[in-house]
Structure 1
């Protein structure tokens, strides 16, 4: 009887763990879809695409980052099971008056979005270039096991009359 109960408890723990992993992996940054173009026709399921999304920096008012990335189509892409390519491009721009609600870390991940059902994420990291009073944004993709060297970088100059507050 104890063996049966132990097995049931183990199964419940595994189910809870799987649900937590699924929940963490499907949580995405708040992206605004700007547009997309089809890159390859798929007879069944959606076409392969390049999508453009906008991300407003949550800690810097007046800065928006535009990211273009590949989105896999077909049956697996339509079901959300496909692994998207690692390539992405980023362009961050001043879209209003730049203000800082609080101090920033020297380097901080500001967005991440799942690109596969389990392990791969698109990440955007903000770095402060204090000498030039600029915000540098780096986008890259990673996997839990293997990193990806493919990346893109952009910078937003901040007027020198508005110093960037650091923690």
Structure 2
């Protein structure tokens, strides 16, 4: 899948959230949105990354950003993950990974010498007009939010 680049229009999506609602990128037009893709809820790296977003959410919101986490997990697993980690932002289920594919966050991965298709830990920042302002792929779970904050000029 081709990766997104700054100034491209971000692909629209409508996905079910862990809280039972549905979230649409179009509904967030007018504010900046951080869309981060993570492989699996309740795994060590994904938990660390989600908790970093949770712990930085007030300052991100204060700077005008909405945070959305997207994984291929079913809604039920996301609901448990959100509750167990007291996550304070929407977790969205992309079970068929169509949104991840559209964002270039699904593709070939290598792990312990094995090659397979899967979710590539990625973050895309969408500006108020729906354009990509930042696109980061193969990000590290630990320290990613701090780096993103620096990249956005928030630190």
TM-score by length of 1: 0.24
Structure number with greater Rg is 1
Structure that is richer in helix per residue: 2
> Relative contact order: is structure 1 or structure 2 higher (C-alpha 8 Å, sep ≥ 6)?
2
TM-score by length of 2: 0.25
